[in-house]
Amino acid sequence: MGGTNLAMQIKVCHIAHQTWPSVCGSVSRLENILAAQKKAGVDVFVISSPFQVGETLKDIELNNGVKYYRCNSSGSGGVKNSRTLLERIKRGFSIFSYTKKIFDICKREAPDVIHAHATFFMGIPALIVGAVLRKPVVYEMRSTWEEDVSGGVFIGLQRRLIKFLEYFTGKRSGLIFFVSKGIMRHYYERDPDNYKIIYNAVSAPGCRQETNGSSMRLHSFGYVGSVVSYEGLEVLVEAVALLLKCRRDFQVHIYGEGDARKGVVALAEKLGVADLIEFHGRIEFSEIQSAYAAIDTIVLPRRDLPITQKVAGLKPVEAFSYQKLVLAADVGGMRELFVDKVHGYFFTPEDPEALSALMSLVIDKKVNAEEVVGRAFEYYKERFTLESMGGQYVSSYRKVLEK
């Protein structure tokens, strides 16, 4: 039987901590999963967490043809990692009413598979409902989120407890999805019995995004994504300041918003490069193509941190799909996704001098940019399309349904 025909018979309930209309990496991942599965013929719907507000006050909302069940209550406090221990205990009690809502929805919708996305607050209710309704449960782990937990007392103990609960939730599930090998190794020293690593994927742009202008125009470097500390955009600003000492034939565009933006802007002003770096702020999904059209080379200057060593992100894959040259910090999450000088170029993390030197080589056309970009685009088409992602999920669902 063909994969698509079988997929038409599969209905999947996705239970997620953060969903549309929020804007963040985990939501982008979920939206791509839903799009990929819909392409493969899977019938999908979403149950959001008690902490996720909707676009309206309705109990059920539609986005891109997908039904979202809302379970939030007033005073939930939204989604954030910085909380006191007492706040976390109070929120923990809402797991009981949330489990009941999931049960009622799943009993009515009758999915074939329940797909819970980290955190364990989604996974444990899914396991309970799955056991009662006799539905297979799969669990998706995509970050080391307990390392970002802050606020309150006994932080070390809280983080160890959360890590154990994540491990336990995955262990009790029929299959675990990981976004990278680094995430798997963070939670499991040995390979779990049933797992599948599915990297991030993006939909192909309608056409190649060429930058505009004459051959004499400035070379345009850029970044598109969240402006947060671990992305290391301060390193890019410092590299620009070093490069400015010997040349001015370039410009930088930074698209995105985040809690590190104010500091990055202040650093640019302090180092006297604010006129070379244009901060565009938050952009909507519909504006991403125009953002890439303004950029020749994507720079991903991630810091050398546990999370960047373990998480294989979306940004290089997205850049490959737009046929842009990628300069990335040499951290584990990047190395897992592509090969240096084959699909892009690495530089030493948190080293502005190394980045500045590489940027200068790019401007002077002393790297094989066209050849590397071509290989990266073919690599994207082979491994990181929505069609590829959808097929991997369908085959994994088949595996748990055949047990």
Query: How confident is the model over 164-188, as pLDDT tens digits?
Result: 999 999 999 999 999 999 999 999 9
Cα→Cα distances 182→18, 333, 334, 341, 382, Å: 22, 7, 11, 22, 22
Query: What does the pLDDT average to over 159-164?
Result: 92
pLDDT of residue 84: 60
pLDDT of residue 143: 87
Read off the pLDDT of residues 271-282 as tens digits, 9 standing for 90 and up. Answer: 999 999 999 998
**Average pLDDT score, the chain:** 91
* Domains of the chain from N-terminus onward: 3-201+385-401 (3.40.50.2000), 219-383 (3.40.50.2000)
Read off the pLDDT of residues 93-122 as tens digits, 9 standing for 90 and up. Answer: 689 999 999 999 999 999 999 999 999 999
> Which tokens sit at 94?
């809402």
pLDDT of residue 88: 59
- Of the CA atoms within 13 Å of residue 296, those in its CB half-sphere come to 17
Lowest mean pLDDT, pick from 248-252, 309-313, 393-397:
309-313
Contact yes or no for 125/48 (Cβ under 8 A): no
Please state, in angstroms and rounded to a whole number, the distance separating the CA atoms of residues 42 and 398. 12
Query: What does the pLDDT average to over 383-393?
Result: 96
- Higher-confidence position of 304 and 212: 304
Q: What is the value of pTM for the model shown?
A: 0.84
Please report which confidence band the pLDDT of residue 4 belongs to, taking 50, 70 and 90 as the band edges.
Answer: very low
Query: What's the per-residue H, E or C state across 306-338?
Result: HHHHHCCCCHHHHHHHCCCEEEEECCHHHHCCC
Read off the pLDDT of residues 315-326 as tens digits, 9 standing for 90 and up. Answer: 999 999 999 999
Q: Is the pLDDT score of 369 beyond 60?
A: yes
pLDDT of residue 403: 83
| C-alpha 107: how far from chain center | 30
pLDDT of residue 284: 82
Please report which confidence band the pLDDT of residue 67 belongs to, taking 50, 70 and 90 as the band edges.
Answer: very high
Q: Is the pLDDT score of 56 beyond 50?
A: yes
- Higher-confidence position of 51 and 233: 233
Lowest mean pLDDT, pick from 49-53, 119-123, 142-146:
142-146
